[in-house]
Structure 1
Amino acid sequence: MPASDPAVGAVEAMIAGPEDPDYATSWNPATRVVDVRRAPGAIEVDLSADARTASVGSGLAALMVQQLVYTASAALGPQRPVQLLIDGRPAGELWGVLTWTGPEHRDPPVDVRNLVQIDVPAEGAALHSPVTVRGDAAVFEATLPWRVLDTSGRVVRSGTAMTAEGQRFSPYSFRVRLPAGRYVAEVREDDPSGGEGGPAMTDTRSFTVE
């Protein structure tokens, strides 16, 4: 498959890891993507043997599976399950903690995704004011607190955005006017329990206003 194929490129980017420091990958960066293709009843992702090397427990291993399933199916069809091949053969036992022998479907997004996600701006983007921040979130009563911090950590702007629907992933956006400088936008779950349900999930993006 050509190196320019978008499905191959998506899996390669997943293995390489994100530029956003809020996210990470446990896939071995030496792993080579042999092929990503639609097959009867599934998407087949064929990786080199380096994919077998990862030092993870069962919880993180399950997230690695879903990371690959979401990545490949985003490129070739979200309803299609994903079969992992290692050098052309079904993966079988992986990382000493699980077995991947048949096609795997996406788990519900609220079980595997960060509940708040910034899609725009890109990490490290250079922008002009006003700045638009948008993404997806699954939050209580569709309420999403946000704030913008300067390089000293001081809050320079704050507010609340509303998602299109509560408790389910749906889009949000807000605009904020800022003078020239470097900033971090932060979105956070609204937490009416005061922390009793565990730490609130957040996402951040660093950017510069020119």
Structure 2
Amino acid sequence: MNKTAAGRRIRRSVLFVVLPAALALSGCVATPQPGITNADTPSHTVPGPAAGVATTSAPLESTQASNKAPVYWIGRSNDNVFLYREFRDVPEEDNPITRALRVMMSQKPLDPDFFTPWQNPKMLATSISGKNVITVDVSADAFNSNVDADMAERAIQQLVYTATAAGASAGLTDTGQQIQVVVLVDGHTDYVAFNRVRLGSPTSRSAGMVAPVWIIDPQEGTEVADGAVKISGRSTVPGGKLHWELLRVDGTSKTPYLNGDITAAADADKSGLFNLALNLGPGNYEVRVSQMDPAGKVKDLNVDTRGFTVR
């Protein structure tokens, strides 16, 4: 046998061995589905609370002295899904942005109405450039959830809102400028998150993703002192009418106790904020706040609830 023929036979044998391995590998790597969107241009737009009523996005968090981290979660309201914020206790071994994102990816929300599609990553690191750009570098295992396109876009915005909130509340960013987030996966750009959203482009908060109504205090499960209980929150409709209801909770039974209407602030410095003071005795309670539909067609529009205990 001549050497040329033998060489061709050897090369064919090598190809025969390598090709099945390549096919096996391609079966293990997720193939991006049609309809991939970019992180900086989400395709989904959330409808307003009612026809003809404009909404705004949540303002950027202000600097605070508290060591609690602002963390955004995903929650359902009526037939839609929005972002909601909780303040969480965090360890101090990481920088404030990394701490907040680690809670978002590895812990559960306090409120059982909220959830997160993120998984606890093996690697997570963050940094800030002088141009108000936060870079998040996370390992690919953070995306090990099967979600649809809309939920994938919300999950990326959940990360953007949490990272920018943590940076602003810790005084690490200039709140007078737009803050953007770049997400790297294992140090690389162009990763397709959840098989749906291409990462790598500087991404800002997307208006309309945040909850139209959201109770800030008390947080879920909070214990408050007997007497005057202060309830606060915000609406994305400055000057909009809100309906509130307080229920007494006894085990699985909830009994209507008090209710009324309030108006969200219209002033620029307090846009959309609302406050409610109630004199309550000991017991378990649930407060519900919702926007009032000007057309009167929807009851409990964009409702948010919080359970708390008075001692």
Q: TM-score, normalised by structure 1?
A: 0.88
Q: Map 1:23-34; keep pairs closer than 5 Å.
A: 23-28=114-119, 30-34=120-124
Q: Map 1:98-117; keep pairs closer than 5 Å.
A: 98-108=197-207, 111-117=208-214
- Match status 1:47 vs 2:138: yes
Partner residue of 2:224? 127
Partner residue of 2:263? 162
Spell out, residue by residue over 1:62-94, the C-alpha distance to the aligned partner (whole angstroms, 9 max, x if none): 101111111111122462110111122225212
Percent of paired sites with the same residue: 30
Asked if 2 retains the 8 angstrom alpha-carbon contact of 1:140 and 1:190, the reply is no
Asked if 1 retains the 8 angstrom alpha-carbon contact of 2:238 and 2:264, the reply is no
Query: What is the alpha-carbon distance in structure 2 between the residues aligned to residue 189 and residue 21 of structure 1?
Result: 21
Question: Could you say what secondary structure the match of 1:194 adopts?
Answer: coil
Asked if 2 retains the 8 angstrom alpha-carbon contact of 1:139 and 1:190, the reply is no
Query: What is the alpha-carbon distance in structure 2 between the residues aligned to residue 33 and residue 175 of structure 1?
Result: 44
Query: What is the alpha-carbon distance in structure 2 between the residues aligned to residue 162 and residue 22 of structure 1?
Result: 25
Worse-superposed segment, 40-49 or 181-190: 40-49
Q: Map 1:80-95; keep pairs closer than 5 Å.
A: 80-95=179-194
Partner residue of 2:93? 3
Partner residue of 1:36? 126
Asked if 2 retains the 8 angstrom alpha-carbon contact of 1:135 and 1:172, the reply is yes
Spell out, residue by residue over 1:69-122, the C-alpha distance to the aligned partner (whole angstroms, 9 max, x if none): 1111112246211011112222521222221121111111xx101100011112
Worse-superposed segment, 180-189 or 98-107: 98-107
Worse-superposed segment, 2-11 or 58-67: 2-11
- Match status 1:187 vs 2:302: no
Query: What is the alpha-carbon distance in structure 2 between the residues aligned to residue 43 and residue 84 of structure 1?
Result: 8
Aligned match for 1:14, one of 99, 104, 108: 104
Spell out, residue by residue over 1:107-166, the C-alpha distance to the aligned partner (whole angstroms, 9 max, x if none): 11xx10110001111211111221100011124852111011011221111112221129
Structure 1 residues 162, 81: CA separation in 2 closer, same or farther (over 3 Å shift)?
Answer: same
Asked if 2 retains the 8 angstrom alpha-carbon contact of 1:150 and 1:156, the reply is yes
Question: Could you say what secondary structure the match of 1:66 adopts?
Answer: helix
Partner residue of 1:64? 155
Q: TM-score, normalised by structure 2?
A: 0.61
Question: Could you say what secondary structure the match of 1:201 adopts?
Answer: strand
Question: Could you say what secondary structure the match of 1:12 adopts?
Answer: helix
Q: 1:34: Cα distance to partner? A: 2.0
Question: Could you say what secondary structure the match of 1:103 adopts?
Answer: coil
Question: Could you say what secondary structure the match of 2:93 adopts?
Answer: coil
Aligned-residue Cα RMSD (Å) equals 2.2
Worse-superposed segment, 200-209 or 70-79: 70-79
Aligned length: 204
- Match status 1:144 vs 2:235: no
Q: 1:169: Cα distance to partner? A: 5.6
Q: 1:3: Cα distance to partner? A: 2.6
**1:47 counterpart letter in structure 2:** V
Spell out, residue by residue over 1:17-36, the C-alpha distance to the aligned partner (whole angstroms, 9 max, x if none): 311112211112x2245211
5+ unaligned residues in a row in structure 1: which ranges? Answer: none
